[in-house]
Amino acid sequence: MSDSPPPAKRQRPDDQEIVRSEVWYDDGSVVLQASATQFRVHWSVLSSHSSFFRDMQGLSQPQDEPKVEGCPIVELPDSAQDVETVLKALYNPFLFAKKSLPLSVIASHIRLGRKYDMKEFLQTMVQRLADEHPQTLEEYGILIDLLAVVRENNLFALLPSAYLRVMLSSTQYKPIF
C-alpha cells in the first residue's frame, strides 16, 4: 500500500466527494469504486479469487472511459465497507486466522463471495458460521451437559444462568467458552 498521502478529493457529478481507501496500491491495475470510495488493487489478485472479475478483466474498455492514474474504474453497487473488508482479506489472508470475527465481517464475505463468485471466501465464511452456530442441540455439547448437571443436582439457582447461556449461544457468533 502507498505510504504517500492521498491526493486532494475530487467531486463526483452528484457533488459527493470521492475519497481513496487505505486499500490503495500504487502499482495497482484497476480502481474499484463503491459509493464514493475508491480502491486501487490488482486485476491479478481479483481474478485469482473471482471468476466474475476474471471474466470482466477480459472485456475491452472504451478509450473514452474515465481512468484514475491510467487505471480503469469499475463501479460496484456494494457498500464501501463490504468492499474494503473483502479487499483487506484478499491482501492479508491472516485475517481469517483470527479466533473470532465480527458478524459484519463474516456477512461481508458471504454477500460479496456469493455475488462475485469468490468460492473459497464464501465456503470459508459459511463453514465458520456453521461451526460457531450449531444447527442441533447435540452440537451444543457442553451447554446441554451443564443444564443436565444443574438440574440433576437440584442447583435451581443456577438454572436461569444456564438457560441464558444456551439461549445466547444460539444467537451469537462467537464461542461462549
Which of 115, 41, 124, 35 lies closest to 80 in space, CA to CA?
A: 35
3-state DSSP assignment of residue 59: coil
CA angle 99, 160, 141 (to 5 degrees): 45
pLDDT of residue 138: 64
Q: Is residue 72 domain-shared with residue 142, that is, in the same domain?
A: no
Residue 57 and residue 105 in one domain: yes
Mean pLDDT confidence for 123-128: 88
- The reply to whether 75 and 123 lie within a common domain is yes
Structure confidence at residue 137 (pLDDT):
59
For the ranges 10-14, 130-134, 145-149, 168-172, the lowest mean pLDDT is seen at: 10-14
In angstroms, rounded to a whole number, what is the distance separating the alpha carbons of residues 84 and 62? 27
8 Å CB contact between 96 and 124: yes
Please check the confidence at residue 169 and state whether its pLDDT lies above 80. no
CATH number at residue 42: 3.30.710.10
Question: What pLDDT score was predicted for residue 147?
Answer: 81
Contact 46, 90 (CB under 8 A): yes
One domain for residues 147 and 96: no
Q: Which residues pair with 33 in a beta bridge?
A: 38, 75
- Name, in order, each residue with C-beta under 8 angstroms of 61's C-beta and a sequence gap of 6 or more: 72
pLDDT tens track for 144-158:
777 888 888 888 888
Query: Has residue 115 got a pLDDT over 90?
Result: yes
Whose CA is closest to 26, among 7, 47, 12, 40?
A: 40
For β-strands 10-11 and 71-76, DSSP reports them as unpaired
Does some domain include residue 175?
no
How far apart CA 137 and CA 163 sit, in angstroms, is: 13
With a threshold of 0.75, does the pTM exceed it?
Answer: no
Residues 142 and 159 placed together within one structural domain of the fold: yes
Give me the number of domains the chain comprises.
Answer: 2
Same domain (yes/no): 154, 123: no
What mean pLDDT is predicted for residues 94-119?
89
Which pLDDT tens digit goes with each residue over 34-67? 999 999 999 999 999 999 999 998 887 778 889 9
